[in-house]
Amino acid sequence: MRQVPARRFKLKKPKAVDPLTGLPIQSVFKEELMRALVKAEQNQELVAIMILDINRFKRINDTMGPDMGDRLMVKIVERMGTCLPSFTLLARFNGDEFTILVKEITKEIQAVEIGEKLIQCFNHPFLLGNQEVYISSSLGISFYPSDGENYELLLQKASIALHWAKRDRDHYKLYEEEMIHELPSNMNLESELRRALDRDEFALFYQPLVDAHTGQLVALEALIRWQHPKKGLLLPASFIPVAEELGLIIPITEWVIQQACTQNRKWLDEGCTIVPISVNLSASHFHHTGLVEYINKVLQQTRLPSEYLELEITESISMNNSDFIFYTLHQLDSQGIKIAIDDFGMGYSSLRYLKHYPINSLKIDRSFIKDIANGDGTLANTVISLAHQFNLKVTAEGVENGEQLEYLKQQKCDRMQGFFFGKPEPPQTISEKFL
Ligand code: C2E
Ligand code: MG
Ligand code: MG
């Protein structure tokens, strides 16, 4: 495994702030809200919570690149800070969503005025280099005590109000009881996703990764499926992006980690020759401080040696060059958990992180492997030689035929995955065929 010389990097324990914006993270917001609720009850006051969403921020990120997206996010936070009075608390919720706590008020209108000011602070464009960027925001507001008496309820109601604000293209909405009866369509998906977790409707399929030269099984990738009671078996593309948007990806990924480790332990106990299982992590998971602790807890509970769990992260996470990600990856690496960069080549490439982060392998994006079948292996070759220059292993994804296999073998690709070797299948089939 590649080691980063310890002298060059100091591992600092991250504080309870969002590393990019310096804003408090949600656990801090929650504690502060709980304190405010106790005080409001004693003093017969109101508390408002707001969720603010930057409209179409993802598009900006996708078109201008994550670095510009980060710079814009910092500017947005600076500007919001200047609009908010001192008795409020602004915190990062997830991605492009923020929560605002307004305490010590006696009338709803006081919070509404603050909300209007926040919306107005987006009226002027943001300057990035010499480019003017126009953005807008949407806001959902809920109140203690009328809409709920705890963090979860108030957040849920503010989030419903936000969905309505977006649907009606209003700048903001206050939560009203009627809203819950006619939820916008992805709110239905939200409650279905929550129910899916409770009712165990998710399943993991596993797809083999083989050694390019010996053809031997070297790892299994865990790929989530949703056994929907009405719609049947759903692929991740139809619900993972929504789960990410709704902040549900964290409990879902925790379920995946738990399930994958439990399954591998089961195979080990049954006397199978096991291989590492790799789990896909979403970018938002890296803003969540409990990731390393959670993984450790599951490894201990299942008594699975850490070398039998691997993680796949997308290029956009690794690009987001922060001390926090650096620290998290090093903690995982020091425990022997290998990290692969998934869909490599599809992001915005600053290659610096390949040198500094403890990464073990790159997975060549499927589209580059498809090009081989059309007689164009340039991108695949480039990724292979790049990976080898950095002493990384390289996996080709989406290998569907012998022609691609032979080509990639010649190019010294290390590992392969694709329908040619096996499709993602339930654990029973995997153990019958491969273990
Ligand atoms: P990925 O991590 O790049 O996973 C590989 C995807 O390529 C899988 O799609 C797999 O079925 C498909 N695939 C593999 N070999 C071939 C092939 O030869 N031909 C073709 N046409 N496709 C192939 P799947 O299972 O639909 O997953 C799609 C994506 O959803 C994954 O891409 C991953 O980004 C995401 N995903 C899956 N499970 C999870 C999860 O548990 N958590 C998170 N956060 N994301 C997940
Ligand atoms: Mg993957
Ligand atoms: Mg991939």
Instruction: Please identify, by atom number, the ligand 1 atom nearest to the C-alpha of residue 424.
Output: 11
Residue 381 Cβ inside 6 Å of ligand 1? The answer reads no
Give the number of whichever ligand sits closest to the CA of residue 340: 2
User: What residues in the chain have per-residue pLDDT under 70?
Assistant: 1-15, 59, 62-63, 182-187, 284, 287-289, 316-322, 348-350
**pTM score of the predicted model:** 0.68
Residue 345 Cβ inside 6 Å of ligand 1? The answer reads no
Residue 256 Cβ inside 6 Å of ligand 1? The answer reads yes
At residue 301, the pLDDT reads 96
Domain 26-183 has CATH 3.40.50.720: no
- Over residues 84-132, the pLDDT tens digits come to 999 999 999 878 899 999 999 999 999 999 999 999 999 889 998 888 8
At residue 327, the pLDDT reads 85
At residue 300, the pLDDT reads 97
Residue 418 Cβ inside 6 Å of ligand 1? The answer reads yes
At residue 390, the pLDDT reads 94
- How much distance in Å is there from the Cα of 410 to the middle of ligand 1? 25
* Cα–Cα separations (whole angstroms), residue 245 to 93, 190, 284, 287: 11, 10, 9, 14
Is residue 220 helix, strand or coil? strand
At residue 60, the pLDDT reads 76
Q: Taking a C-beta distance cutoff of 8 angstroms, is the pair 87, 100 a contact?
A: no
At residue 169, the pLDDT reads 76
At residue 71, the pLDDT reads 92
- How much distance in Å is there from the Cα of 314 to the middle of ligand 2? 8
Q: Whose CA is nearest to atom 10 of ligand 1?
A: 424
Residue 419 Cβ inside 6 Å of ligand 1? The answer reads yes
Pairing of strands 88-94, 97-105: antiparallel
Task: List strand residue ranges (DSSP E) for 40-155, in order.
Answer: 46-54, 88-94, 97-105, 126-128, 131-133, 137-144
Could you give the residue range(s) of every CATH 3.20.20.450 domain in the chain?
202-433
- Least Cα distance to 48 among 147, 187, 124 occurs for 147
Going 384 to 388 to 391 to 393, the CA torsion angle's sign is positive
CA 267, CA 431: separation in Å to the nearest integer?
8
- Over residues 255-290, the pLDDT tens digits come to 999 999 999 999 999 999 999 999 999 876 776 668
At residue 317, the pLDDT reads 63
Instruction: Give 370's contacts (C-beta < 8 A, 6+ positions apart).
Output: 398
Instruction: Please identify, by atom number, the ligand 1 atom nearest to the C-alpha of residue 419.
Output: 18
Residue 254 Cβ inside 6 Å of ligand 1? The answer reads no
At residue 241, the pLDDT reads 79
Domain 202-433 has CATH 3.20.20.450: yes
Could you give the residue range(s) of every CATH 3.30.70.270 domain in the chain?
26-183
